[in-house]
Structure 1
Amino acid sequence: MKDIFSNVIELAKKICKAKLTEGDRAVDCTMGNGNDTAFLSSLVGKDGRVYAFDIQEQALVNTSKKLQELNFLDRAVLICDGHETIEKYIKEPVRVFLFNLGYLPKGDHSITTQKETTLQAVQKCLNLLEPDGIILLVIYPGHDNGKAEQEALVRYSSTLDQKNYNVARICLTNQVNNPPELLCVEKVLPR
């Protein structure tokens, strides 16, 4: 069996697999090159829907190509806008929100997610999150904007009412060079 905690991205995917079933709604809040959008599309099936956000046109081009190759284009809605505008596009409950923060791999590293807009997006996601749904944030504290996002997200999530949310922070404390972290916010089922 592969190490469970060796990679927080793989851990986030395992959580997605546990949470998502055919017909569910999911959101890739940081589309990038489409890997997470394609992964989520495979989990929600032909009756599900994945909304994917990115501010860079190249991300939409790359993702569209990937989804077309996998025959998943009809399962996804690709949106060229910031994730902080989520409420303009989504009006239904969502099971999983996935953020893979930072910058577009193989893209312009000066264009990164920002703590202000990421916090706005998370707050709006909480309003759309269905009971037992989850927000997964892969955070990269190895660059200045990533460190600022990490601090702001940890501070904000620690204020969420424990009667309504379970919050977990997973960081690989024995790894060097500021490894990525996973922050999970799960909406508690009503009692």
Structure 2
Amino acid sequence: MQTFNTIKLAQQLLFAKVNKAKILVDATAGNGKDSLFLAQNSPIDAIIWSFDVQQTAILNTKELLSKYSLDDKVKLIIDSHENIDQHINGKIDVAMFNLGYLPNAQHQITTQYQSTIAALQKILGSLSIGGVISIIAYSGHQEGYLENKAVQERLRSLPSNIFTVGCWSMINHSNNPPILYIVEKMRGEAYESATPH
């Protein structure tokens, strides 16, 4: 049991932004909890885009949303989040990533750092002023370790005159607890979203 639930913390930190957002993204649909949070707490005319490569995840998300009569508010996309620019035009106000593998499913199928960084780059380039991104990373397995390292390096290099980046983790736990990153776009200067080489 974790005293601080990282997913709930991310939702609390994003809550005020979600209340006013028009375009929102759940970059990793999973079992639909972030999609439900976004749908329940955003304006009635907001649109949520929810991505996952696994059919099971999309079906689980649809089932959860239907339970709350919110399935019409969310566009469920069976595709990698790295192709987000093929689906969304316009500025993104809120985006959430919950990396790793789908709970209660095959652990061999997990998010990959290459596609995660590509998706993050595209969202950073489309983020509205005042827009926010939350990323929950898990470093307890090999791909998760690589993914967290890549995410941290990318976020650390963001220009501080445009973005503010925070990081939260439990520092006295030895079981590789999740790490939460929050990114906010503070100013409207142009940001080159191409992946650096």
Measured against the shorter chain, the TM-score band is over 0.9
Answer yes or no: is the 8 Å Cα contact 1:101–1:138 preserved in 2.
Answer: yes
Structure 1: give runs of 5+ residues left out of the alignment.
none
Question: Counterpart in 1 of 2:130?
Answer: 132
Separation in structure 2 between the aligned mates of residue 137 and residue 82 of structure 1, nearest angstrom = 16
Range with greater deviation from structure 2 (32-41 or 21-30): 21-30
Deviation at 1:46, TM superposition (A): 2.4
Deviations 1:23-79 (A, max 9, x none): 622100000011111111001142111100000011111111111110101110000
Match of 1:108 in 2: 106
| Structure 1 partner of 2:17 | 19
Question: Within the alignment, does 1:41 sit opposite 2:39 as a pair?
Answer: yes
In structure 2, list runs of 5 or more residues that go unmatched. Answer: 190-197
- Is contact 2:161–2:187 with CA below 8 Å preserved after alignment? no
Q: TM-score, normalised by structure 1?
A: 0.94
Report the residue type matching 2:137 in the other structure: I
Map of 1:68 onto structure 2: 66
SS of residue in 1 equivalent to 2:64:
helix
2:171 is matched with: 173
Partner of 1:9 in structure 2?
Answer: 7
Please name the residue that 1:122 is paired with.
Answer: 120
Query: CA shift at 1:176, angstroms?
Result: 2.0
Match of 2:50 among 49, 52, 68: 52
- Checking the alignment, whether the CA contact within 8 Å between 2:21 and 2:93 is kept in structure 1 is no
Report what 2:140 is aligned to.
142
Paired residues for 1:88-107 under 5 Å: 88-107=86-105
Q: Percent identity?
A: 37
Cα displacement string for residues 73-113 of structure 1 (whole angstroms, at most 9, x for unaligned residues): 11100000000000000002111110000001111110000
SS in 2 for 1:184: strand
Cα pair 1:45 1:75 within 8 Å, conserved? no
Report the Cα offset of residue 190 of structure 1. 4.3
* Kept after mapping to 1: 8 A contact 2:54/2:78: yes
Please say if residues 163 and 186 of structure 2, whose CA atoms lie closer than 8 Å, have aligned partners that are also in contact.
Answer: yes
CA distance in 1, matches of 2:160, 2:43: 32
User: 3-state SS of the aligned residue for 1:135?
Assistant: strand
Alpha-carbon separation, structure 2, partners of 1:23 and 1:98:
13
Equivalent residues of 2:25, 2:50 under 8 A apart: yes
1:187 aligned to 178, 185, 192, which one? 185
Distance 1:135 1:76 in 2: 18
CA RMSD of aligned residues (A): 1.6
